Copies of this chain bind each other. A is one copy, B any other.
Amino acid sequence: MSDAKVTSLDVARMAGVSQSAVSRVFSGASASKTTIAKVRAAADRLGYRPNRLARAMITGKSRIIGLVVAYLDNQFYPLAIERLSQALQERGYHILLIMAGNSPEGIESVMADLMTYQVDGIITASVAMSSDLTERCAAMGIPVVMFNRGQDGSGLSSITSANVEGGRKVAEFLLAGGHGRIAHVAGWQGSSTGRDRTQGFCAALAEAGAPPPETIDGMYDRDTAAAAARKLMERPEPPDAIFVGNDHMAFAVMDTLRHEIGLRIPADVSIVGYDDVPMAAWAAYDLTTLRQPVNRMVEATVDTLLAEIEDPARGHERVEITGPLIIRGSARVPEGWT
């Protein structure tokens, strides 16, 4: 029934009221019972829905959030996106999705693109932002929240798990398990998350008097992580435990140890990951890992972003969310460990 384009004016004519009346009904402003009824009836009959772009022009609020994400091969991100999208939809916002490689100039151009859509805010998922860009966003008055990545210099808000503390927990667990030669395939050291986890891990080892772990940067990449695992095992005294900077790389390490080198996990080597993506619970890996609480991180991200949108004068926030160590079968479990 409904023809191509039906505007508020069409509805107004059919309902016998002014265009403003129609607008008021749909924007929740006050109107009398009778007009509301007339407008609603006409609108239903014509299949009218307000044009959000036109609305955005007037109000200056597009109710669009730009989501910038680097890659989707790490299962953690699809999951986060799914939750983010749902949480934002419930609040009346929608996501404009942008894929950006991790090159700085790529990010740059992509963010500029986003601005032209007049997004109300931006969420970056594991993307590093230059301080130049940071400033430009601030100048444009457009809130940015970094999900699962911090940026030391910038004044931007960020939501992460408690990575330093997480690294410590893993170290304590491995030490309690009686491991003597502990190694580390690190998360990308160019990222705050990677650095923090490594730092907490090494600090706890040092405090316990353990030797510093043999460490290789796995770059959050499967192949790099697999190569790192090979290299570690070629040593004259190979490790009996490896902390891997995220689950995605941990799977690669486990595959390499088991099917390429022929080792048993955890009998020969204990493996601990970070994230607790769904796959970590699959029987094939059964990975002991430090959980990043996606749901709470998403909630915090949405809350922070919308708060900054509604009150631009609001300061930036830096939220860290603590997660538990999920104990499964990929690492030797210390006596009497809960």
Q: A-side interface residues toward B, CB under 8 Å?
A: 1-4, 47, 49-54, 56-57, 62, 64, 67, 71-73, 75, 77-79, 81-82, 85-86, 89, 94-99, 112-113, 115-118, 136, 139-141, 251-252, 254-256, 258-260, 278, 282-285
Contacts and interface: CB of A to CB of B under 8 A. Distances in A.
Contact of A71 (B82, B116, B254): B82
Kindly name the residue among A3, A52, A139 whose own CB sees the greatest number of chain B CB atoms within 10 A. Answer: A52
What are the 6 tightest A-B residue pairs by CB atom distance, in nearest-first order?
A: A259-B283, A72-B78, A255-B283, A78-B78, A85-B99, A97-B97
B57 A54 contact: yes
A94 to B, nearest CB: 6
Given A4-B140, A77-B78, 15 more contacts: A2-B139, A53-B117, A54-B57, A57-B57, A64-B96, A72-B81, A73-B278, A75-B78, A85-B97, A94-B98, A94-B117, A96-B96, A259-B284, A284-B284, A284-B285
B251 A116 contact: no
Contact of A94 (B85, B113, B256): B113
Contacts of A283: 255-256, 258-260
Contact of A4 (B50, B62, B141, B256): B141
B53 A57 contact: yes
Nearest to A260: B283
Contact of A75 (B54, B56, B75, B139): B75
Contacts of A285: 284
Contacts of A78: 72-73, 75, 77-78
Nearest to A257: B283
Contacts of A49: 112, 115-116
Contacts of A139: 1-4
A99 to B, nearest CB: 4
Kindly name the residue among A73, A75, A78, A115 whose own CB sees the greatest number of chain B CB atoms within 10 A. Answer: A78
A72 B79 contact: yes
A218 B72 CA distance: 25
A117 B79 CA distance: 25
Contacts of A140: 2, 4
A140 to B, nearest CB: 6
A300 to B, nearest CB: 19
Contacts of A86: 99
A51 B4 contact: no
Contacts of A3: 139
B56 A53 contact: yes
A52 B117 contact: yes
Nearest to A66: B94
B98 A85 contact: yes
B118 A51 contact: yes
A81 B57 CA distance: 29
A293 B120 CA distance: 36
Contacts of A57: 53-54, 57
B99 A89 contact: yes
A47 B57 CA distance: 20
Given A57-B57, A78-B73, A96 B99 contact: no
A210 to B, nearest CB: 30
Contacts of A282: 251-252, 255
